[in-house]
Amino acid sequence: MKPKEQIVDLADQYIRAKGYNAFSFYDIAKEVGIKTSSIHYHFPSKTDLGVAVIEKELAFITAMIQKNADCSPLEKLNIFFSIYHKIKEANQVCLVGSLATDFMTLDESIQNALKKFSLTILNWVTGFLEEGKRENVFNFSCQPRIKALLIIGNMLSIVQLSRLIDDADFNSVKKAIQKDLLNQ
């Protein structure tokens, strides 16, 4: 992997493991095997690096949405779950949750990138919930957008809470969401 990609990848890991304000250029430099000044060559400021992380994740999620556009709503739900499963396995939190708590300390360019990223996820989930309801696979009574916020919020929060409480609760929450959606 090219150094530039590796830097973004490690920054991503650190943001979701320790938070944006808790990792340093030195943390990354150490792991890549270069000096901090070399990171500044690729990303003049920490803000530039932060924006690059979000844009990388946005590209990833956009490609995944596109690739699985023809899947069933239930399959899409499980793809959605699998994202958080990986995060939880690594004892991390999701990018949105991590950066939302640091939001007031972030430069506007990161704030805007994050808003765009979260909107992409929200629209995706809203879409396959609507789809599932139309096909009588999913059942829920509130607006699809609100149901999407509830479900996204459940996953966003359970990866955070998994650090504080019983590890097994993650799967129980996942199953409860699924059962609730499929119940007629």
Binder among 17, 34, 64, 122 for DNA (CB under 7 A)? 34
Contact 89, 160 (CB under 8 A): no
Stretch that binds DNA, among 39-47, 63-71, 74-82, 176-184 (CB under 7 A): 39-47
Q: Is 56 helix (H, G, I), strand (E, B) or coil?
A: helix
Closer to DNA by Cβ: residue 113 or 156: 113
Annotate 60-129 with DSSP letters as a single string. Answer: HHHHHHHHTTTS-HHHHHHHHHHHHHHHHHTT---HHHHHHHTGGGS-HHHHHHHHHHHHHHHHHHHHHH
Return the residues of window 92-151 that contact a second copy according to CB under 8 A: 93, 96-98, 100-105, 114-115, 118-119, 122, 141-143, 145-147, 149-150
Which partner from the list a second copy, DNA, none does 35 bind, CB cut-off 5 to 8 Å by kind?
A: DNA
Name the site residues for DNA (rule: CB under 7 A).
Answer: 3-4, 23-27, 33-38, 40-42, 44-47
